[in-house]
Structure 1
C-alpha cells in the first residue's frame, strides 16, 4: 500500500487514507487497518472492515476530498449511541457518529485524511512582479514552476521547477493556476500557452487597455471567446496595490480566495455536519 500511496502522490492524484484508530468489542478490522479511497468513493487498496463501517467511511472520504477537511467517524451500535444521548448523523467534539447495524455490535473509530496534491502555479515571465509571486506562492502551498528564458532563471530562488521559454507542459494537470507577467516580452506567446488547456485561474499582469489589445490578437489567432472570458486582467484583488510586492500579494490573495472558495463553512454548519 505504501508504494501505491507514494505513486499517487507523485502523480498528483487526490485520495483519502482511512485508518482504524480504535475498536471496542468484536469488529472485523482492528486498530491500524488502512484503506486508500479515490475521489469517486472507490476503495482501491486496503481494508477497514465490512459493510457496517464501509459505507460510512466511503461517504466521509468523498466529503473530505471535497472540502479538504479530515474526519473522525465513530461507528457504534444504536443502543450504545442512545446511551450517550446520540444518534446516527450527530457530530460532537469533532467526531461524527454512525450506526453499526452488524450482528457483531462492535464499535470502530476511523480517521479519514484527505491527501490532496499541491495546486500547480505556472509563472510566465521574469518581471519584478513574477519574481515577487515566486517568493510568496510557495508559502501558500503552491507548487511553483517558472516559464521564462533560461537567461532569466537566476532571478528566481526556491521555486520547484524552471522551464525554458513560455511553453507550459501539456501534462500540467487540471488543478492549474497561471500568471502571465512577461512585461512586453512574449506576452502573446505566453497567453496562448496559458490558455491552451483548462486552468482554475489564468491572469495577466498589465493594464486593462493592454489586456484588451492582446485579447483581440488572441481572438484573431483562434483562441475562442469562452477561453478569453476566463482571463483575469488586470490580475489580482483590488487592494490599491502599487509596488511589485503589493501587486504580487494581490494576485496570490486572489488565487487563495479561488482555491478556498466553498471549502470554509460557518462553525455551526461544521458542528452539524453529517456523514
Structure 2
C-alpha cells in the first residue's frame, strides 16, 4: 500500500485494534528529494513499513531508528536528514539532537534535505479492576477520562450498578492477553479478597494495588505465602493502594490510586529540562 488514503485507512484500523505503530510524515524538503512534503508511512514496532513511503535508503535508517525510540519513550520527534556539508555548517554530528531535532546524514547523490515528523501511536493503557466496591466503580469512572482501557471483573451478583468499563468479566479471571503494560487494582471490599489477589498475582502487571488496610493485606499475604506464593510476587502488591493524599471518600481514594498509576506509568518518560535524547 502506497497511496495516502491507504495509509490513513490503516492508521484508523490499527488505532481501533489498539496496536502500537509510528506515523512518519515528511514535513519539509529542500532541493531534490525522492519524497515530498506530505508523504506518510506507517511503521510497525518491528521496523517494517506497513504502508506508505517516505523516500529511499537516504532517510529510511534514521527514521526507523527514531521510530523505535519513539515507541519506547512515547515521545514524538523531528528528524532532519541533511547532506554532510550542511550538517558541518550547523556544527552538528549525525545522530546528534539539538532543540528537539535529531540530525542524520543524507548519503544519497541528490544531497537534498528532508524533515520527517515521527509520531508514536500507542495502545491505550489497560486498567483491570477486580471487585465491585464503591472505590472500584469510582476508579472506572475516573480512569476513562485519562484514556485507559478498563476491564471490570467481579461476580455479577456483586455489582449494584454497571461500571463504566470497556469490558466486563464474570469472576476474577484476568484475560491472558494482558501483559506488563497493564495496571491491576483489587478493590473487592472483603468480597473475594483472596481469590482476586490470586488471580492478580498471575499477571505480570506494571502495577498491582490492593484497596484495604495494612492489617488486612498482612493477613492475606501470610495466607498466600503459606500456600506457596513466592515472596517476591507478594512484595509487588502495593497496599494500601494510592498516593497518601489523606483520601477518605471512594472518589478521593480512586483519585489517589489513579495518581499513583500515572506516576508509575510516566516514570522515566520525562527528562529534566534542557536535556535532549540522542
TM-score, normalized by length of structure 2?
A: 0.88
Within the alignment, does 1:91 sit opposite 2:106 as a pair? Answer: no
The alpha-carbon deviation at position 102 of structure 1 amounts to 1.5
**After superposition, where does 1:146-225 map in structure 2 within 5 Å?**
146-153=152-159, 155-225=161-231
CA–CA distance in structure 2, aligned partners of residues 90 and 131 of structure 1: 45
Would you say the 8 A contact 1:153–1:162 is kept in 2? Answer: no
CA–CA distance in structure 2, aligned partners of residues 7 and 168 of structure 1: 25
Change (3 A) 1:95 1:104: same
**After superposition, where does 1:11-160 map in structure 2 within 5 Å?**
11-84=17-90, 86-88=92-94, 89-92=96-99, 94-153=100-159, 155-160=161-166
Would you say the 8 A contact 2:153–2:169 is kept in 1? Answer: yes
**What is the aligned partner in structure 1 of residue 239 from structure 2?**
233
Would you say the 8 A contact 2:22–2:42 is kept in 1? Answer: yes
**Match for residue 269 of structure 1 among 262, 269, 275:** 275
The alpha-carbon deviation at position 62 of structure 1 amounts to 1.5
Secondary structure of residue in 2 paired with 1:104? coil
CA–CA distance in structure 2, aligned partners of residues 150 and 106 of structure 1: 63
Would you say the 8 A contact 1:27–1:107 is kept in 2? Answer: yes
Would you say the 8 A contact 1:134–1:156 is kept in 2? Answer: no
CA–CA distance in structure 2, aligned partners of residues 119 and 167 of structure 1: 19
Change (3 A) 1:11 1:193: farther
Instruction: Kindly provide the CA deviation profile for residues 126-154 of structure 1, in whole angstroms up to 9, marking residues without a partner as x.
Output: 11211221121112221111112324445
Gaps of 5+ in 2: 1-6
**What is the aligned partner in structure 1 of residue 4 from structure 2?**
none
TM-score, normalized by length of structure 1?
A: 0.89
Would you say the 8 A contact 2:154–2:171 is kept in 1? Answer: yes
Change (3 A) 1:3 1:196: farther
Q: CA RMSD in A?
A: 2.2
CA–CA distance in structure 1, aligned partners of residues 25 and 88 of structure 2: 25
Secondary structure of residue in 1 paired with 2:242? coil
CA–CA distance in structure 2, aligned partners of residues 69 and 52 of structure 1: 23
Would you say the 8 A contact 2:137–2:164 is kept in 1? Answer: no
CA–CA distance in structure 2, aligned partners of residues 143 and 167 of structure 1: 17
Secondary structure of residue in 1 paired with 2:275? helix
The alpha-carbon deviation at position 212 of structure 1 amounts to 1.4
